[in-house]
Amino acid sequence: MTHVVTPQARPSLLQAFLRSEALGGYVLMAAALAALIIANSPAAPVYFNVLETKVGFQAGPVVLRETVLHWINDGLMAVFFLLVGLEIKREVLDGQLRGTARIVLPGIAAVGGMAVPALIYVAINLGSPDTLRGWAIPAATDIAFALGILALLGSRVPTSLKIFLTALAILDDLGAIVIIALFYTSQLKMFALLMAGALLGCLFCLNRAGVLRLTPYLLIGALLWYFVLKSGVHATLAGVALALTIPLRPRNAGKPDAHSPLHDLEHALHKPVALLIVPIFGFANAGVSFAGMGLASLAQPVPMGVALGLFLGKQLGVFGFSWLAIKSGIASLPRHATFTQLYGVAMLCGIGFTMSLFIGALAFTDAATVDATKIGVLTGSLASAVMGFVLLRMGAATRREDAAH
């Protein structure tokens, strides 16, 4: 008798995405922990000195000389934002965010998850006008960390909730991008801004002309990053702008090997961003010295506003807005999920590590306030991760007991 070996089904793009993001979350956790250990060890002076060392190059009239930390936050993170932009475009046009029905619940949850944390931060910092600029810090969700925690729970959490969290985090990133563009832009330089606009126009013309090779887009994108950097608009937004021009239509349409430039670039960037760029960012930005700090440090307006915004604001905003949408009939509860599990996922949304640290670096320039922001982000994110994990694990156990009865 002849046995036919059936090839294993290839994982879907979403499954591959979830696995990649979970692995990236573990690497990011390790990088953040390493930064904290080094920043509180005898090696701390070396760590901080390296980050403040200026490096750069000159090519004709182009001169770029910045600190290592600046290169990481404005250079490497532009690639991170390029990937975010590609994911947003793909999900809206051809994924989980395509169509009104799919976007309703995560969209409403994302609005609540941005608004309530910001209001909590503002309420705590009303008496300190200088720190109100940090209102957007607790409004972000770190998808890598959150999905990393979900991965630890395995099948205890239904796939529908993982999809919900992914969609919510992508919309959350979109909101953060808009916030950065509108509220964290320095004084504009018109010549550089006009050049950036012209280059963006060229990119859209390439798209409309049906150019499907990535090389022209990436070369023009590099120039776009330089002029956006010089314009006063934050340089990472060049990555998002470039992503929106990358074609989604496939090459060799109608053939088995059909694939689009957007999918090619997204797949090429996923692992380097998740396993290298984001961990490097975390390692460079999570390091804060706890010397001389106590509980009184956490009670200051900035760390308290950030920590409570992430821990309380996210769970209240995400779950509260979701509950109202479901109970009013506007949306439905994710398939095979309970309200307890939805609340646990809402707690995980309080992990705001990467984007929260990034916005904090934009909001404040003095070292003391930046360190206070880091303390708030680390505290709020850690509390959200632990409590979310515990609640989801308990919720899964309760559901199994109910099924047994």
This prediction has a pTM of 0.78
Residue 184, burial from CB neighbour count under 10 angstroms (0-12, 13-18, 19+):
middle
| DSSP 8-state assignment for residue 274 | I
Taking the CA atoms of residue 108, residue 110, residue 113 and residue 114 in that order, the dihedral angle to the nearest 10 degrees is -110
> How would you write the pLDDT of the chain (405 residues) with one tens digit per residue?
444 444 444 444 545 545 555 677 788 888 989 999 999 999 999 999 999 999 887 766 777 888 999 899 889 989 988 998 888 888 878 776 676 767 889 999 999 999 999 999 999 999 888 899 999 999 888 877 787 787 777 777 888 888 888 888 888 888 888 888 888 877 788 899 999 999 999 999 999 999 999 999 999 999 999 999 888 888 888 998 999 999 988 876 656 556 789 999 999 998 898 889 989 998 998 888 877 676 777 889 999 999 999 999 999 999 999 999 999 999 889 888 899 999 999 999 999 888 898 899 889 988 889 889 999 999 999 999 999 999 988 865 555 544 444
Helical segments of 232-291, H only:
237-245, 261-272, 278-285
User: What pLDDT is attached to residue 165?
Assistant: 87
- Residue 194: Cβ within 10 Å count: 12
Burial of 253 (0-12, 13-18, 19+ CB in 10 A): exposed
Per-residue pLDDT at 225: 94
Assigned token pair, 228: 């956006």
Query: Do the strands 62-67 and 54-59 form a parallel or antiparallel pair, or are they unpaired?
Result: antiparallel
**Cα dist. 83→90, 148, 283, 332 in Å?**
11, 18, 20, 30
Q: Which amino acid, residue 138?
A: P
Helix (H) or strand (E) holding 15: helix 13-39
Question: Which among 351, 367, 362 is positioned nearest to 287, based on CA atoms?
Answer: 367
Q: Quickly tell me which residue has 């920043």 as its tokens.
A: 39
Q: What six digits make up the tokens of 254?
A: 């109608």
User: In Å, how far are 105, 162, 254 from 9, measured between CA atoms?
Assistant: 30, 21, 21
Output the CA torsion sign for 325, 331, 332, 338. Answer: negative
Q: How many CB atoms lie within 10 A of CB 237?
A: 24
What is the per-residue pLDDT for 388? Answer: 92
Q: Are 73 and 361 in contact (CB under 8 A)?
A: yes
3-state secondary structure at position 66? strand
Q: Which is nearest to 350 in space by CA: 382, 397, 303?
A: 382
Q: Write down the pLDDT at residue 292.
A: 67
**For the chain, how many residues are written?**
405
The pair phi, psi for residue 176, each rounded to 5°, is: -65, -40
Give how far Cα 174 sits from Cα of 82, 85, 109, 180, Å: 12, 8, 13, 10
Q: What gap in Å lies between CA 383 and CA 306, rounded to an integer?
A: 12
- Gap between the Cα atoms of 167 and 334, Å rounded: 12
Other C-beta atoms closer than 10 Å to the C-beta of 329 total 7
What pLDDT does 403 receive?
A: 46
